[in-house]
């Protein structure tokens, strides 16, 4: 008699007391009194489901060179720039673009553009939250961390490069007109989807990845969880740092990232326009997690130390690197508390940066942002900072995610 396939990987809900403790503050924010057992079970099930459209493209990109059904990287880039696949393209490429065209009925492009501007106005606090609360905070759980270690992209010299790739993608998404078909952010998002599919296809084959323990690589639950780190988590973290985010701005930012999630292949029923709905979903995502694994401290340490080691200029530049490391550790104490820092084998420091960040953010968001001129100034300042970060991390190379061999 054949054994029935598992309904969830072993990591699913494997440390319920720890997960409930970590998730409790988010549950209070989202107004979750009692977890939804059906949603929790569905998160476990979708740890074993994939983006099938992306998977079909990845298989087509891996075909033999003389196979007429093969999709080349050049063909993918040509279609991304054009905003559509040509009529004579291989079926997998046509299907990939058919899945994201035309626009979904719910999309409001004016609201999306307002969300992009509001996202840029969050400034440095946005990047602090994405690095500290979203990225490093996510290393407290197994699954995606194991895949990151195996790809070698977030350890050693690759740590800041991959951080820069993520930063460049989010920057492209929020640029004016960036999410128009063929636009910089639109193309970058679909490129990320295709590269994720290639990674997943590679690690699903053979015994390179323990699917029974971790779930499928880049599965639907982990993809939806990652999306939640860029929308409501970013807003919530900025508010924790004193940023006033008006309700209209929050709704616009959520709309922007709902479209990003739709493009990147997250299941439609897990795309949210409401911060409250997204936070409630994120609460269940945390409840579904297990223990920290050895990969977490390895990845977190590489990023924390990378802020110092990437500064290779003169004495002033090296001092700036040491300052950035200390600053991040102080903010991590705010985001993850002492327990989270210990989980990741990071020094437990005082949250000494928090008062100054709150004061600065209150002034900027309540006074500077009151006028249209002030809002444009905040957007331009945010852009200049991101551009400086990308110049440091990429040099003369074009910023953004790299192509992977098919």
Mean pLDDT by runs of 10 across the 406 residues of the chain is 69 96 96 96 98 98 95 97 96 98 97 99 98 96 90 70 93 97 97 96 86 96 98 98 98 99 98 97 98 95 93 88 97 98 97 98 98 98 96 84 73
Convert the pLDDT of each residue in 370-394 to its tens digit. 999 999 999 999 999 999 999 988 8
Q: Tell me, what's the pLDDT at 314?
A: 86
What local confidence, expressed as pLDDT, does residue 361 receive? 98
Residue 1 confidence (pLDDT) = 40
Report the pLDDT value the prediction gives residue 3, as an integer from 0 to 100: 47
- CA dist 297 and 189 (Å) reads 28
> What's the Cα-to-Cα distance from 181 to each of 80, 103, 197, 280, rounded to whole Å?
8, 9, 21, 31
CA 139/CA 300 separation, integer angstroms: 7
* 38: CB partners within 8 A, 6+ apart: none
* Predicted local confidence at residue 20, as pLDDT: 97
Q: What are 5's two structure tokens?
A: 């396939």
Note the pLDDT of residue 279.
98
pTM exceeding the 0.85 threshold for the entire prediction: yes
Which pLDDT does position 155 carry in this prediction?
Answer: 59
CA distance 231 to 226: 9
Which ranges in 142-231 belong to alpha helices (H)? 144-151, 158-173, 184-204, 211-214, 220-230
102: preceding bond cis by omega (within 30 degrees) = yes
What was the pLDDT predicted at 228? 98
Tell me how many degrees the CA angle 348-350-126 measures, rounded to the nearest 5: 95
């Amino acid at each position: 008699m054949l054994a029935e396939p598992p309904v969830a990987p072993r990591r699913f809900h494997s440390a319920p007391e720890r997960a409930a403790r970590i998730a409790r503050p988010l549950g209070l924010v989202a107004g979750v009194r009692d977890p939804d057992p059906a949603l929790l079970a569905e998160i476990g099930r979708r740890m074993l489901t994939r983006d099938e459209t992306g998977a079909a493209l990845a298989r087509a990109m891996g075909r033999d060179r003389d196979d007429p059904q093969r999709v080349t990287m050049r063909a993918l880039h040509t279609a991304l720039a054009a905003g559509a696949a040509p009529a004579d393209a291989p079926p997998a490429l046509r299907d990939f673009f058919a899945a994201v065209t035309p626009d979904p009925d719910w999309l409001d492009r004016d609201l999306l553009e307002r969300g992009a501007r509001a996202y840029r106005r969050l400034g440095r606090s946005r990047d602090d939250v994405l690095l500290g609360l979203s990225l490093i905070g996510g290393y407290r759980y197994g699954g995606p961390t194991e895949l990151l270690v195996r790809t070698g992209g977030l350890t050693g010299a690759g740590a800041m490069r991959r951080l820069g790739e993520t930063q460049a993608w989010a920057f492209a998404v929020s640029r004016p007109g960036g999410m128009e078909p063929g636009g910089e952010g639109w193309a970058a998002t679909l490129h990320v989807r295709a590269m994720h599919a290639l990674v997943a296809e590679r690690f699903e084959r053979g015994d390179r990845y323990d699917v029974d323990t971790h779930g499928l690589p880049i599965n639907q639950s982990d993809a939806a969880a990652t999306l939640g780190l860029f929308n409501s988590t970013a807003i919530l973290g900025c508010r924790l740092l004193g940023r006033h985010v008006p309700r209209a701005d929050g709704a616009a930012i959520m709309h922007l990232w709902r479209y990003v999630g739709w493009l990147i292949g997250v299941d439609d029923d897990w795309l949210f326009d409401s911060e409250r709905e997204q936070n409630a979903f994120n609460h269940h995502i945390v409840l579904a997690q297990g223990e920290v694994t050895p990969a977490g401290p390895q990845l977190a340490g590489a990023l924390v130390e990378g802020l110092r080691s990437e500064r290779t200029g003169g004495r002033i530049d090296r001092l700036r690197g040491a300052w950035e490391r200390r600053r991040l550790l102080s903010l991590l104490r705010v985001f993850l508390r002492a327990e989270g820092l210990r989980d990741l084998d990071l020094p437990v420091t005082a949250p000494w940066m928090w008062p100054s960040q709150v004061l600065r953010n209150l002034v900027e968001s309540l006074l500077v942002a009151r006028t249209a001129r002030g809002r444009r100034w905040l957007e331009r300042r945010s852009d200049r900072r991101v551009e400086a970060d990308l110049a440091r991390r990429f040099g003369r190379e074009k910023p953004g995610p790299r192509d992977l061999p098919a």
